[in-house]
Amino acid sequence: MLRRSTRVPGVESLATPIVRRAFLRRAGLLLAAAGAPPALFGQAGGARRGRVILDVDIGIDDAFAVLLAHFSPTIDLLGITTAFGNTTLENSTRNALYIKERFGVEAQVYRGAAEPLHHPRSEPPVFVHGEDGLGDVEGRIAPSIREADLSAPEFIARAILGDPGEVTVVTLGPATNLMLARLLEPAIVDHVRDVIVMGGAVGFAGERGNITTVAEANAWQDPHAMADLFRFPWPVTMVGLDVTYAADASMDAAFIEELRTRAGEAGAFLERINRQYRRFYRSSRGVDVTFQHDSIAVAYAIAPSLFEVERGKVKVLTDGVARGQTVFCPEGHHTFGDPEWAGLPTHRVCRGIDGPGFLDLYARALIGGGARGGGRRAE
Ligand code: BDR
Ligand code: CA
């Protein structure tokens, strides 16, 4: 059952402090046990901002996430790489350029994969994200700028190797671009700072899939890429449906209205594109909120202390009816000598989230960004 706060998150008072403190007390032990990192990046004006590449299939919730990264003072957004998924590659790239131009995002856009590594491309889910991928509310989406010449995989590989140990890649769509980058330059595995993946679901909160009963959309879209990603010993954190469907991290009408009225043009834009997403969740899950999967993955990059994590191995099934299923084997569990598990490295999987803390973080970034002039005030 959804538990909603009657208070609308805003800049002055955003989280429910008691809930948050209780969560953090509970999570503290788990975080210590799992060895979760302290804040990934320095504070604005302090240490160097975290250097982040966002890999997107824009997508309504991807658009929310891009604006979160853009307006977050601790993130230095290096590039936006595009892929198929929620919409076609064409739309995804055009939508990224539209957001870049409209909101003054400095990072370049790099066009990437149009289809999965091995499976044929499937029809985009227009019933979720609309025909244009942004909820069909913007009229003609016709940015006057173009993407960079470099392809997305080339950019990812060059950025990581050009700044070893500093670049974090956050994948918000199928992981195809990142795995193509690894094929181009296998050494990125040793030099990436962190890989944060929105994808998968292992059942911590009873969630296992949103495409089939066992498959999350990004894992399903390109299961070979997702399976490969968990085979390499780079520092991966999986942010799956286990946390992104948390009721208290969802955005209700009051929260969206707060963004619309207080986060300038960006807030007004998000309210408009969210209408289609809201209809989708009303009809598919019977709730009048939207789940911001991709922003929650970006929030991990900004504030990992909002999350409970567990270490273990992840396998992704690539074919058949279980295509895209993510299976988790916690660290220390007996695997009876099964060679399939023995060969896999250990990664981090998120199992809990401080929902009010996430909403607090989101509202602060957007409302602060609007006030700094990152978006004109709404009419
Ligand atoms: C993920 O799939 C896409 O539809 C969303 O943008 C998100 O990245 C959720 O399963
Ligand atoms: Ca996405």
Ligand 1 centre to CA of 275 (Å) is 17
Tell me the pLDDT tens digit for each residue of 203-212.
999 999 999 9
Token pair recorded at residue 274: 């969210």
Q: Residue 1: what pLDDT?
A: 29
Does 378 map to a domain? no
Phi, psi of 223 (to 5 degrees): -65, -30
Average pLDDT of span 60-75: 97
Does 242 map to a domain? yes
Q: List the alpha helices (DSSP H) in the chain.
A: 17-34, 60-71, 89-103, 126-129, 152-162, 176-184, 188-191, 217-221, 223-229, 241-244, 253-262, 264-285, 293-302, 339-342, 355-369
| Residue of the CA atom closest to atom 4 of ligand 1 | 86
Does 41 map to a domain? no
Q: Out of 293, 333, 334, 347, pick the active-site residue.
A: 293
Whether pLDDT at 3 is above 80: no
Q: How far is CA 346 from CA 35, 142, 236, 255, 334, in A?
A: 12, 44, 9, 37, 14
Q: Listing from the earlier edge strand, what are the strands of the sheet with 347-353?
A: 108-111, 75-82, 50-56, 167-171, 194-198, 236-239, 347-353, 307-316, 326-330
CA-to-CA distance for 29 and 119, rounded, in angstroms?
42
Ligand 1 centre to CA of 379 (Å) is 30
Percent of the chain with pLDDT over 90: 81
CA-to-CA distance for 360 and 358, rounded, in angstroms?
5
Ligand 1 centre to CA of 171 (Å) is 10
Examine the residue annotation and report whether 119 is marked as an active-site residue of this protein: no
CA-to-CA distance for 102 and 106, rounded, in angstroms?
11
Mutate to test the pocket of ligand 1, among 293, 296, 350 (most ligand atoms within 8 A of CB): 293
CATH number at 325 reads: 3.90.245.10
Does 35 map to a domain? no
Token pair recorded at residue 367: 């409302």
CA-to-CA distance for 367 and 300, rounded, in angstroms?
19
Average pLDDT of span 178-203: 98
Mean pLDDT of the chain: 88
Q: Report the chain's C-alpha Rg in angstroms.
A: 19
Does 136 map to a domain? yes
CA-to-CA distance for 148 and 109, rounded, in angstroms?
6
Whether pLDDT at 23 is above 50: no
Whether pLDDT at 371 is above 70: no
CA-to-CA distance for 78 and 108, rounded, in angstroms?
7
Residues flanking ligand 1, CB < 6 Å: 59, 61-62, 86, 172-173, 198, 210, 216-218, 293-294
Q: How many domains does the chain have?
A: 1
> Angle CA(210)–CA(119)–CA(295) in degrees, nearest 5?
40
Worst-scoring range by mean pLDDT, 101-105, 169-173, 334-338, 364-368?
A: 334-338
372 falls in which pLDDT band (50, 70, 90)? Answer: low
Q: Which atom of ligand 1 is closest in space to residue 59's alpha carbon?
A: 6
Higher pLDDT, 253 or 42: 253
Q: Residue 10: what pLDDT?
A: 29
75 falls in which pLDDT band (50, 70, 90)? Answer: very high
Question: What proportions of the chain, in percent to the nearest 5, are helix, strand and coil?
Answer: 45, 15, 40
Buried b (16+ CB within 10 A) or exposed e, 202-212: bbbbebbbbbe
Whether pLDDT at 47 is above 70: no
Q: Which atom of ligand 1 is closest in space to residue 291's alpha carbon?
A: 9
Whether pLDDT at 290 is above 90: yes
Q: Residue 137: what pLDDT?
A: 96
Does 10 map to a domain? no
106 falls in which pLDDT band (50, 70, 90)? Answer: very high
Q: Residue 135: what pLDDT?
A: 97
Mutate to test the pocket of ligand 1, among 55, 60, 172, 239 (most ligand atoms within 8 A of CB): 172
Instruction: Give the closest residue to 280 by CA, choosing from 139, 95, 87, 126.
Output: 126
Q: Which atom of ligand 1 is closest in space to residue 172's alpha carbon?
A: 8
| Residue numbers of the domain that contains 162 | 15-30+47-371
Does 42 map to a domain? no
The end-to-end CA distance of the chain, in Å, is 35
Q: Which atom of ligand 1 is closest in space to residue 294's alpha carbon?
A: 8
Does 5 map to a domain? no
